[in-house]
Chains A and B, each alone.
Chain A
Amino acid sequence: MTGRARVFGDDVNTDYIITSRRKRESIDPQYLRGYLFEELDPAFAASVKPQDLIVAGKNFGCGSAMEVAVTALVGAGIRAVLARSFSRTYYRNAVNNGLLPVVCETRGIREGDRLTIADGRVLNDTTGEIVPAEPSPQVMLEIIEAGGLVGYMLRRHRS
């Protein structure tokens, strides 16, 4: 997976990803994607492109467990988030929706860097830096492989 880094800081809570107020208006990801990160970067929603990769510091997705904080990103075509750590609810919700959460050192990544995620590591094509990604628990790999929890549940209940 290759994409352009869109960089945020530490402790980006779910209300910063998408506010509870917007969620009150609609839970449609195609509506919500228009308000992504509006408190942190009002220009983000207009500039986000499919294949962009979200890069953050520690504790990404802290706060509320609301799943629109994942589906709004997926709705914008984002396939992975790289962070030094995730809140556990965000990590779970991401996996369940096929958004790949990558735990790795992100401090060397700058806005706009071109990143490739492959074979358990992250290659920064812009700087040449390579950082390892933390392995995920087996059950999460199975859910990701099924494309999310819906695919996983369908597979499990069929067998």
Chain B
Amino acid sequence: MPGETISEKILSAKSGRDARAGDVVICRVDCAMGTDGSVPMALDYFAAMGGKRVFAPEQVVFALDHYAGDGPTAELHRRVRDFAAAHGIRVWEVGEGIGHQLILEQGLAKPGDLVLGADSHAVTYGAVNAFATGIGSSDLAAILVSGEIWLRVPESIRVTLTGKIPPGVGAKDAALVLARELGADGATYQALEFAGVELPLDDRIVLANMSVEMGAKNGIFPAGVKPDPDARYVREIHVALNSLTPQVALPHHVDNVAPVGEAAGTPIQMVYLGTCTGGRVSDYHEALRVLQAGGGPAAGVELVVVPASRAVLDTLTADGTIAAFEGMGAKVGAPGCGSCCGTCGPIPGDGVNVISTANRNFKGRMGNGAAAIYLASPASCAAAAVRGAIVDPREWNR
């Protein structure tokens, strides 16, 4: 038998058998996360499945991150809170942040863990060497009942990273290059297993988070669990980080990626800095650097800042970053998913071009099908705010 990939090793450990690509295995779950977008339906399935008690409530967490809790969403939040209280499940309240960010901040995903999230961006925790993937509400309900999930062991694509990311370029640009290379379905049912140079956590998070935009089941970095030297891969991709340039995903497909220069001059009316992809401390520091070097946002640009968590907001408040953004007229929103999927926060108007640090630019994604969404790095988004148009952020490199 050849050696195992990281995914095969983790799923072997969690299923208690030799789990190889293509096998279907039943696995013990270490942690399960649901959001206000997915838990209410899961509660209906739980009841229909005859669920009485939750298998391991201490391993479950619900995040109220998608909705503000106003209007019809107040009732959804009430149901989530009531169930959680009755079963001893922890709830992250409105304003505490995005569930994915909190899972990482609070150490609920550890190397070698199997973590499932009822939200597609649960793949994010692969950044810390967990096997992590998204599920729907029905699968979450089955985990609440049984503590287990069946999974098909994915084949792995090895993505080898070499060199160092140049100034003014970010991990987001590497993720966008991968999206172009693989396409929106290029890794469907498969794992992206990263190898090569060690990246800082925030950069690993961006790449793991965006793996689902290529259809991947999970995106995972090595740490405690490493692949065997003779592990088998279905495809090898090399990304030379030192020759990366700023990229932008054009409307309305994540894999519709071009070098930022090809879109230069596209007018921008709204700049969105946040989400589980681009809402961390290092993202705001990079964006602020470009904004300050460029003299602040251009007239008529709406600048929106929604940190990924309360901890991120607190850090940025303490170090003066938030005051600097507010001094430039930015609107700072409560930590959470915000406008990313159009469920709360400011909605772009008709004909508005938005550039965002988010992960998806589908038509209507931010709540208005008559707006167009461009995806880019924090530096490129900040540069677009300065110019009022898409522009290469390296213009403001020191």
Q: Which residues of B contact A88 (CB under 8 A)?
A: 188-189, 215, 217
Pair B49/A89 contact, Cβ less than 8 Å: no
**Is A51's beta carbon under 8 Å from chain B?**
no
The main secondary structure of chain B at its interface with chain A is: loop
Q: Which of A59, A138, A148, A149 is within 8 Å of B184, CB to CB?
A: A59
Pair B363/A65 contact, Cβ less than 8 Å: no
CB-CB nearest in chain A for B253: A11
Q: Which residues of B contact A150 (CB under 8 A)?
A: 45, 48-49, 138
Q: Which residues of A contact B136 (CB under 8 A)?
A: 65-67, 70, 89, 92-93, 96
Pair B188/A87 contact, Cβ less than 8 Å: yes
**Is B168's beta carbon under 8 Å from chain A?**
no
Q: Which residues of A contact B364 (CB under 8 A)?
A: 15-16, 19, 21, 39
Pair A62/B48 contact, Cβ less than 8 Å: no
8 Å CB interface, A98-133 against B = none
13 extra A-B contacts, CB within 8 A, seeds A63-B362, A86-B188: A16-B364, A20-B341, A20-B365, A25-B72, A64-B119, A68-B41, A85-B188, A88-B215, A92-B139, A96-B139, A97-B138, A137-B152, A153-B146
CB-CB nearest in chain A for B145: A153
| 8 closest cross-chain pairs (CB), A and B | A59-B185, A93-B136, A67-B136, A96-B138, A65-B120, A65-B134, A20-B341, A153-B49
Q: Which of B66, B138, B150 has the most chain A CB atoms inside 10 A of its CB? A: B138
8 Å CB interface, B342-364 against A = 342-343, 360, 362-364
**Is A139's beta carbon under 8 Å from chain B?**
yes
Quote the shortest CB–CB distance from A51 to chain B (angstroms).
24
8 Å CB interface, B8-45 against A = 24, 37-38, 40-41, 45
Pair A67/B138 contact, Cβ less than 8 Å: yes
Q: Which residues of B contact A23 (CB under 8 A)?
A: 37
Q: Which residues of B contact A59 (CB under 8 A)?
A: 184-185, 188, 215
Q: Which residues of A contact B125 (CB under 8 A)?
A: none
**Is B265's beta carbon under 8 Å from chain A?**
no
Quote the shortest CB–CB distance from A142 to chain B (angstroms).
10
CB-CB nearest in chain A for B217: A88
Quote the shortest CB–CB distance from A16 to chain B (angstroms).
7
Pair B185/A21 contact, Cβ less than 8 Å: no
**Is B73's beta carbon under 8 Å from chain A?**
yes
